Amino acid sequence: MNFRIADTFTGSLARLTGEEQKAVKTTAFDLQIDPAQPGMSFHKLDRAKDKNFWSVRVSSDIRIIVHKTDSSLLLCYVDHHDKAYQWAERRKLETHPATGAAQLVEIRERVQEVVIPKYVEIHEPAPTRAVTATKPPLFANRTDAELLSYGVPEEWLPDVRAADEDSLLMLADHLPGEAAEALLELAVGGMPKVATAKVADPFEHPDAQRRFRVMKDVEELERALAFPWEKWTTFLHPAQRQWVEREYTGPARIAGSAGTGKTIVALHRAVFLARSQPECRVLLTTFSETLANALRTKLRRLIGSEPRLGERIDVHSIDAIASRLFEKHIGKLKLADEGVVKSGMQAAMAAGDSGKFTIGFLLSEWTDLVDAWQLDSWEAYRDIKRLGRKTRLSEAQRNTLWTLFGAVRKQLAADGYTTRSGMFTALAEKLKGLAQRPFDFIVVDEAQDLGVAQLRFLAALCEGGPNSLFFAGDLGQRIFQQPFSWKALGVDIRGRSRTLHINYRTSHQIRAQADRLLGPEISDVDGNTEERKGTISVFNGPVPEVGTFDSVSAEAAAASAWIKERQAEGYLPHELGAFVRSGAELSRAIAAVAAAGLPYKVLDDGVETIAGHVSIGTMHLAKGLEFRGVAVLACDDEVIPLQSRIDGIGDEADLEEVYSTERHLLYVACTRARDRLFVSGVGPASEFLDDLLA
């Protein structure tokens, strides 16, 4: 007998309390081992339209809904008695007539309203009513055959034809995932890809495999129930799969706003390369150790049944893999941190002419230009194009500055220090001379925050043939690096860049509000454009709560009350996150969470979220994380955008870049939320809150 679980089962399981979940898992294990064993309490659901639905008793009030036939048992849903039965009475399992995929379909019940006319005598003319213009239906010109090919259930065709832009999202909540996503893509001008290959088993169809999972043994079931159902980690939508499995003639990039599945595409790309090339070695990398840890966890879930595949996929942060290779191929590494560089710059300023430039400007010029490009001579600094550096400099000013930068370079070398950019550059040169490179393929997540030297290093880390470099990122989430030309470094993605438009993670309400912080499209230095205006979320949720308070204590009380409300709704502590602009505001997030009586963990680079604890951190550390509910606190004036960054600007033109990255930071923090978002500040609040509410 085939034993399967559905995404609706694990989704409903996550909403139960910890003790209820334990009891459900025990019953699920018993069902897999022997569903006919004495003591298994099955009850046929006579009121269900699908006569194969049964309930299984877990406790006095908890019931598992299963779909049972002679050859299979499918765990469909779990809840308290009445809610579980109501769910089953509104569903049926069927094979779609056009696609051949197995679907759990919500039964469409139409109620005809009987209108009884009432006649009254009118002595004077009735006032004229203004006629409200109705929006045109979106799919009126689509044929039944086309709509069915997208997986729309037959009984929902009339509702689909009547849908307009206001009702589409509400309708999408009632449709199978592939149908909802196809309609949303049509609504924004796209053309969904139809899976044409027929399969004998409805559960083997690609769309069905996103929803239903065969459990081969108890260990696999235990793994499946140990984590929330991450259907876009385990299964790919066909629109994503085509970019995972495509052959590329050169470097390629997948873009898209937060929640569109870029990280999942990167994970699947790494696995696809390792699986299709049995002798290859793949590096899956990103810019921080925190994100690398998250990638490792997701990779283990993805290849749980193929552990040997993981032996050929290395997952490291870029700094970690570079440090390891530097010590192997070059020698002991003595890194110069920001403090060492700043001390060296101050010493050079004291000994020479700084041209009235501030220490802040000098350090940014060093970090974003001189050190990033590893400029080693006056001529190199004189001739380089200062992309991303808005302050204009005459040749005489550059000459003055080079005296300082040259002195810093000499002092660092004399003290045996290497900067991070120096480490990457030295490695790139060393790797080019190796007969065999460490990796055959490299997949990079959060690629928008790659620096110049890092990109050089990655390009040198593999042979550079077809499919060797694959990037996933979002220019709207660039928070660490100045823009620069990838093409100038030999990494040309033109013609091989695609943007994802379906948001799987963040509700329509949160995504739409967060998008107000950014423009409709963003372009990189090489002219590659990422359009954001066509992005659609596949589910609805409550409108985000944005508020300004009179005091820090009032803000903490409101945030604490919001957290308690989420807890009452069944949110577990690790499903909540609280973020602030910088370390100076962490105490405000801690106070709010502590007042709610929940345990918490303050994140640092390399520290993962912990079960049973609310995650608290800075907006920078929110990158790559996701939670059911997120509170973004301390959005005060002079906090975001951060006043110290503005004070360090040497030219008014540089304000644009500061404001841009500060907006990106708030966008990153807000889009970590799946269902619930709370954003607050103490008056006068950040001007960005006005943009969120616009």
Read off the pLDDT of residues 305-341 as tens digits, 9 standing for 90 and up.
Answer: 677 888 999 999 999 999 999 999 999 999 999 899 9
> DSSP secondary-structure letter at 97?
T
Does residue 157 lie within any of the structural domains?
Answer: no
Closest residue by Cα to residue 514 from 544, 536, 547: 544
Instruction: Indicate whether 549 and 531 sit together in one domain.
Output: no
Give yes or no for a contact between 151 and 103, defined as CB atoms under 8 angstroms apart.
yes
Mean pLDDT of 651-660: 68
- Residue 65 pLDDT > 90, yes or no? yes
Q: Is the pTM of this model over 0.85?
A: no
Structure tokens given for 589: 């997030």
- Residue 382 pLDDT > 80, yes or no? yes
What's the pLDDT score for residue 532? 65
Instruction: Indicate whether 238 and 346 sit together in one domain.
Output: no
Instruction: Indicate whether 439 and 500 sit together in one domain.
Output: yes
Instruction: Indicate whether 454 and 308 sit together in one domain.
Output: yes
Of 146-155, 194-203, 641-650, the one with minimum mean pLDDT is: 641-650
- Residue 130 pLDDT > 60, yes or no? no
What's the pLDDT score for residue 598? 96
Instruction: Indicate whether 524 and 647 sit together in one domain.
Output: no
CA distance 97 to 152: 10
CB atoms within 10 A of CB 427: 23
The 10s digit of each residue's pLDDT in 235-266 is 566 667 788 999 999 999 998 888 888 888 99
Instruction: Indicate whether 396 and 437 sit together in one domain.
Output: no
- Residue 119 pLDDT > 60, yes or no? no
CA distance 167 to 43: 37
pLDDT band at 120 (very low <50, low <70, confident <90, very high): very low
- Residue 231 pLDDT > 60, yes or no? no
Q: Which residues of 538-561 are buried (b: 16+ CB within 10 A; e: fewer)?
A: bbebeebebbbbeebeebbebbbe
Dihedral, CA atoms, 614, 617, 621, 623, nearest 10 degrees? 50
- Residue 62 pLDDT > 60, yes or no? yes
Instruction: Indicate whether 372 and 441 sit together in one domain.
Output: no
Instruction: Indicate whether 628 and 563 sit together in one domain.
Output: yes
Residue with tokens 């006068």: 684
Give yes or no for a contact between 668 and 622, defined as CB atoms under 8 angstroms apart.
yes
Does residue 250 lie within any of the structural domains?
Answer: yes
What's the pLDDT score for residue 534? 67
Does residue 263 lie within any of the structural domains?
Answer: yes
- Residue 530 pLDDT > 50, yes or no? yes
Which tops the pLDDT comparison, 497 or 115? 497
* Mean residue pLDDT across the chain: 85
pLDDT band at 111 (very low <50, low <70, confident <90, very high): very low
The 10s digit of each residue's pLDDT in 335-369 is 999 899 999 999 999 988 877 788 888 888 898 88
Instruction: Indicate whether 255 and 294 sit together in one domain.
Output: yes
What's the pLDDT score for residue 195? 63
Query: What is residue 344's three-state secondary structure?
Result: helix
Does residue 507 lie within any of the structural domains?
Answer: yes
Domain end point (choices 224, 257, 277): 224
What's the pLDDT score for residue 606? 54
Strands 576-580 and 627-632, how do they pair? parallel
Q: Residue 101, class by beta-carbon neighbours within 10 Å (0-12 exposed, 13-18 middle, 19+ buried)?
A: buried
Query: What is residue 300's three-state secondary structure?
Result: helix
Does residue 586 lie within any of the structural domains?
Answer: yes
Domain end point (choices 389, 417, 445): 417
Does residue 113 lie within any of the structural domains?
Answer: no
Residues with Cβ within 8 Å of 668's Cβ and at least 6 positions away in sequence, in order, are: 258, 477, 479, 619, 622, 623
Mean pLDDT of 128-145: 74
What's the pLDDT score for residue 448? 86
Residue with tokens 């949110």: 571
Instruction: Indicate whether 266 and 299 sit together in one domain.
Output: yes
Domain end point (choices 489, 510, 537): 537
- Residue 605 pLDDT > 70, yes or no? no
Instruction: Indicate whether 452 and 583 sit together in one domain.
Output: no
Which tops the pLDDT comparison, 515 or 232? 515
Q: Check which CATH number belongs to the domain holding 320 and give it.
A: 3.40.50.300
Domain residues for 362?
Answer: 340-417
Domain count, the chain: 4
Of 53-57, 393-397, 616-620, the one with minimum mean pLDDT is: 393-397
The 10s digit of each residue's pLDDT in 532-566 is 666 777 778 899 999 999 999 999 999 999 999 99
Does residue 325 lie within any of the structural domains?
Answer: yes
- Cis check for the bond before 438: say yes or no (omega within 30 of 0): no
Q: Backbone phi, then psi, for 498, in 5-degree steps? A: -130, 145
- Residue 72 pLDDT > 80, yes or no? yes
What's the pLDDT score for residue 117? 46
CA distance 213 to 219: 14
CA distance 73 to 563: 38
Instruction: Indicate whether 599 and 524 sit together in one domain.
Output: no
- Residue 403 pLDDT > 50, yes or no? yes
- Residue 173 pLDDT > 70, yes or no? yes
pLDDT band at 573 (very low <50, low <70, confident <90, very high): very high
Does residue 50 lie within any of the structural domains?
Answer: yes
Q: Check which CATH number belongs to the domain holding 79 and give it.
A: 3.30.2310.20
